Structure 1
Amino acid sequence: MRKTLYIIGLSAFVFSCTSQQNVKKNTYKPKTPVTQPKVVAKPQVQEKPKPQITNDHGVEFFTTNIADPAKNDNTVSYGSIVSAKPAGYKVVKTYFPAIAQNFRQKYLILHYTALPDDKSITVLTQQAVSAHYLVNNTGDNEIYQLVDENKRSYHAGVSAWRNDKNLNDTSIGIEIVNSGYTADASGKRLFVPFNDDQIKKVAALAKDIITRYQIPATNVLAHSDIAPTRKQDPGPLFPWKKLYDQYQIGMWYDDAMKQSYYDMAVSTDFTSKYNDSAFIFSVQTQLQKFGYGIELSGKWDDATKKTIEAFQYHFRPENYDGIMDAETWAILQALIQKYPVK
């Protein structure tokens, strides 16, 4: 009997524990609601359709600007599109062209050959010097192209203007057939004038290049501007003012502004401070500010004299003695005022 009671009591205890576990297991706990972030639909950006690439006998061209000309960005190709051909792969132009691009051609540099027509052709095509174009002196309507505009020609050499150096990398060169100069008994250079028909050719060619590549007036220069200690071309008889007045090519000063600065120079006894190192340093700084690659020595050294001479070739051709007189100084100030560095 005692054994039977023991078994019944043990069974009741097991049942009681099991029931408590089940109650604990089945106790309801309300779930904390989870707020799902709302999915915001992104607006579909509709890409403007790009102009098509032209294909002519397997050669591709893109002749439209879809970039911002105000930033000097330009997608126009003035030749065929040059593309890689990696072995085993295909280069596609699904996203061509990117709008962030511009032209390599930032400068137009003018030269004379100092040689007659036939020798000019030989030297510029067969030797280690070249130009993109050669303007002859034979009276016809031809202009010789010698180098692809997309390639560097070897015309500028060691050169600088404003913040740029080695201008072969960023320029187009035009050579003009002209004998250059001879020297008289005193050593003064006597330059040979240019033919009017040549100048018309130069103007038409320069205008075309400047327009296509958006070359600013400050970047249309003489070889002597970018290499004043080495070069004199195209010299003081090249008609820069005529190109400016008749064709809107290159830089020139405003007469009223120049006269204002001239009057100021004369009224302050310009000549009395001419040899002061502070004044010389100031002149060199202003030449440098305008664009010339000149060292600031504070002396009227040979490099400074040649730089002033180059400036006079371009902007004061009536007198190119390399002396910074009041008129040359006034012209320099007027040009700095008109063409500030941006």
Structure 2
Amino acid sequence: MKKLFLYSLFFGVLVSCKSNIYRNESDSIRKQFRKVKKTIFHKESVPLSNGKNPEWINTVNFNLRKPNFIILHHTAQDSLEQTIRTFTLSRTQVSAHYVISDDGKVVQMLNDYLRAWHGGNAIWGKNTDINSASIGIELDNNGSEPFSEEQISSLIALLTRLKKEYNIPTPNIIAHSDIAPSRKSDPSAFFPWKRLSELGFGIWPDAAIENAPENFDAILALRIIGYDTRNLSAAIRAFKLHYIQNEVDDVLNEKTINTIYSIYKKQ
């Protein structure tokens, strides 16, 4: 009975998306369900190095993961339909929780409590598995044009719900380029981060940027903010793509240092 209860609970969450994306289950989705079910109910204990063999005693005191970040992307594709196809083919190994089209239509592709494959190899601060802690939102945009008003309006409405529902910290609404600076540049410099920050979604430099102290270590501050600075040029470029969108390069000049200081103080 307990096993049946756990499976029913798990399956109920999988099919509870408001978009009901699972109502026309494909063989691939059924296969994935079976794989996840097998993992959840696996009870073969592995002996410890001291020879002890852990004993299984079930508990009902558990729940699913709680997202703590929201990662924003642009699709770099030509249409909503193309993106949906990409995200529904098992061979692509990529997905997101939500896709927002140019006309503002919102498509939910995965329950918020499940782990989508949107961030890839990414780091933010000490978080080395961003997919396990985040919701991925893709905006239908090829990266070389402004985002539409309808699209941003729907994004704001979605962020409003998600931030409240999961108590997402304001600084934890960030870009794909922030978490993967060596690989990604989305969303592009057209993305209105300042406008979103004014509504409580992400942070933005002060209007009057204060000069950083003489002993301020901008590289250390980038790491404290969250950036992976092993490729320093990429980290600086990603920071400027987010916060200095009219000057996207890897030059660590006075303006950049002062902007880093402004963001550092908001952490």
* Superposition TM-score, scaled by structure 2 size: 0.73
Q: CA deviation at 1:103?
A: 4.8
Structure 2 spans left out of the alignment, 5+ residues? 1-7, 11-15, 18-36, 43-56
> Alignment partner of 2:72: what SS?
strand
Letter in 1 for 2:100: V
Q: Contact between 1:134 and 1:145, CA under 8 Å: does it hold in 2?
A: yes
Q: Distance in 2 between matches of 1:251 and 1:130?
A: 26
CA contact (8 A) 2:171 2:201 kept: no
Q: Give CA deviations for 1:232-275 in whole Å, capped at 9, x if unaligned.
A: 00011100101111x2111112223x2x216x6xxx7xxxxxxx
Match of 2:74 among 106, 112, 125: 112
Indicate the percent of aligned positions where both proteins have the same amino acid: 31
Give the match for residue 8 of structure 1. Answer: none
Aligned to 1:236: 189
1:60 Cα deviation from its structure 2 partner: 6.8
Cα pair 2:119 2:136 within 8 Å, conserved: yes
Distance 1:338 1:102, change over 3 A: farther
Greater relative contact order structure (CA < 8 Å, 6+ sep): 2
Whole-angstrom CA distance in 2 between matches of 1:116 and 1:316: 27
How many residue pairs align between the two structures? Answer: 220
Ranges of 4+ aligned residues in structure 1 off by more than 3 Å: 83-86
Deviation at 1:306, TM superposition (A): 1.5
Pick from 84, 89, 100 the counterpart of residue 135 of structure 1. Answer: 100
Partner AA of 1:286 in structure 2 = A
The amino acid across from 2:211 in the alignment is Y
* Displacement after TM superposition at 1:104 (Å): 2.6
RMSD: 3.1
Aligned residue number for residue 291 of structure 1: 226
> Structure 1, unaligned stretches of length 5 or more?
1-58, 62-78, 182-191, 269-277, 296-302
CA distance in 2, matches of 1:329, 1:143: 38
Provide the secondary structure at the position in 2 that maps to 1:173: strand
Aligned to 2:241: 313
**Structure 2 residue matching 1:250: 3-state secondary structure:** coil
What one-letter code is carried by the residue in structure 2 that aligns with 1:132?
A: H
1:261 aligns with 2:211: yes
Q: Residues 60, 193 of structure 1: CA spacing in aligned structure 2 closer, same or farther, 3 A cutoff?
A: same
Q: How does 1:1-342 map onto structure 2 within 5 Å?
A: 103-117=65-79, 118-126=81-89, 127-137=92-102, 139=103, 142-181=105-144, 192-245=145-198, 247-256=199-208, 258=209, 260-261=210-211, 282-295=217-230, 303-339=231-267
Give the TM-score of the pair, scaled to structure 1: 0.58
Contact 1:103 1:213 in 2 (8 A): no
Amino acid at match of 1:334: S
Rounded to whole Å, the distance in 1 between the matches of 2:66 and 2:202 is 19
2:135 counterpart SS class: strand
